[in-house]
Amino acid sequence: MSIKLRTCLALVFGLLMILLTILLGVVINRLSSNNIEKEIGNTLGGIAYQMSDKLDYFMWSRSGEIDVVSKLDVLRNPQERHSAQELLQELKANIPSFTWIGLTDAAGVVAASTENLLHGVDISQRPVFKQGSKEKFIGDVHEAVLLAKLLPNPTGEAMQFVDISVPLTDSASQFSGVLAAHLSWEWSKEMENSLLESYSSLKEHVDIIVVSRKDNVVLLGPKELVGQTLQLESIQQASSQKGGWALEAWPDGNNYVTGYSYGDGYMNYGGLDWTVLVREPKHVAYQSVDTLQRYIFMIGFAAAALFALLGWLVAGMVSRPLTNIAAAARRIQSGERIGLPQHKGIADIENLTDSLDNLLRNLTTTEAALGHMESLAHHDRLTGLPNRVGFEEYIRMVADRKGSPGNGLVLMYMDLDGFKKVNDTLGHAAGDELLKIVAQRILGQLREGDMAARLGGDEFVAVLRHGHADSRKVALAAAGRILDAVREPYLLDGEQAGVGISIGAAAWPEDGSDIQEVMKLADASLYKSKLKGKNCVTIHNA
């Protein structure tokens, strides 16, 4: 049975375009999907790391405060109980995270405490005394026992605490009692909320979950998971790899992209070995991938329909021109960047040629759009600076060129001082505007070839190329410019505001051949700046 040329060409053109669409769709979707999935996973893993770091830093701070207070003579002298009571009360008033602070005698009887709660009660059998009488003790999250009925509880939910206690000695270096404190677990929820505020696009469908080292019990997370035991591969991976992400099935039967991080302490605080998980439903996380796939196939099938129609219209006069067009198409498919041959005088052939050119431009535009999407994944939406992912990619590229002469870098970590006050007094919109201005001020103080990125919240980083120059001088000069620029007043919605900035810096490869270790040194230097009083710069080994 013979088929008319118009019908044959229409079918052939339509079939070829469908096959080409499927091929391009599969190739482009696979390449783009892998990249987007990695960016999503790395983002969730980064959030998990930030939460883990915040938890460890908070516990380190509170532990250090108890250490400092325990050294005061007023706590070691039984004759100063009234003064000790006032001191504990003032400590609790200034640090609300301390729900209860108490001082016991050597027998474990509470001799002074905030609000006089448990005063005169024997707590010698409680872990906070039994363990704290031997050495410094930091207990995992647990429900209140003695304080449950004494403290206000407007929510009606079970109250949970983290214990910190240290032994005390008198002037003769004899054991005289224990200084014990209960931290309300509510501070972890405050940290969770503050962290998610930095990721407004993820806040609605991302869960942050904290898992105890004991039996993998959920300490923080959705209500239906709190108190439950989780058996997940990501928890096992966290304890060995410290951080990363995975796509896995959860007990509710749903698949989640799960970022994980293992809290192994901060500085001299050894940590409670909590695992932080950040999960996002797979169908939500990969929605952009699915949308891209549909977009590619819609364009392809629309083009297939168009070309089938054109094949029907030009069948009568396309034999020779079609051969030329097919030859050009094969050259394009092989990778040559050429245009399709033009045939003047035959309107149908001219239309076909133009349509093919339009298709090529559409595919090129689609490819450019994919590149733009990848660029968005590497840049901070608020300030336009590279984000944490873009910064880490930049560092990887620089590290790969470590053999190049004059390739030395100064890594400068920066954190704003007083930014929370701006947010609290002028609102988050003003805070966002301030972050944009700060980003431009930092960028304006860098030289050509340097880069700046926003890691999240009010944290920034700059990478300075120093070539063969003195890295310390380069760091001090740039830090001085940035300190002066950031300290300049800000006019936000008619209100004047001000912030400072703390800076920590380290040089690569002078301070270490491993650039990741140098990044940690710069981060540690930043914390030293904070401890020195903020609004200053600390350079490693300066």
d(CA 481, CA 445): 6
Is the dihedral angle over the CA atoms 300, 306, 307, 312 positive or is it negative? positive
Query: How far is Cα of residue 514 from the mean position of the Cα atoms in its chain?
Result: 22
Question: Which residue, among 161, 163, 141, 148, has the nearest Cα to 227 in the 3D structure?
Answer: 141
Please report how many Cα atoms fall inside a 13 Å half-sphere around the Cα of residue 127, on the Cβ side: 14
Is residue 314 a contact partner of residue 344, using CB atoms and an 8 Å limit? no
Q: Which of 207, 458, 511, 523 is catalytic?
A: 458
The residues that bridge with 92 in the sheet, in sequence order, are none
Measure the CA dihedral 46/50/52/53, to 10°. Answer: 130
d(CA 503, CA 420): 17
Assign 3-state DSSP to the chain and report helix, strand, coil percentages, each to 5.
50, 20, 30
Q: At what angle do helices 287-314 and 5-70 cross, to 10 degrees?
A: 170
For residue 159, count other CB atoms closer than 10 A to its CB: 20
d(CA 394, CA 119): 58
The residues that bridge with 55 in the sheet, in sequence order, are none
Task: Report the SS3 class of residue 542.
Answer: coil
> Is 458 labeled as catalytic in the residue annotation?
yes
CA angle at residue 515 from 509 to 516, to 5 degrees?
Answer: 150
Catalytic residue numbers read 458
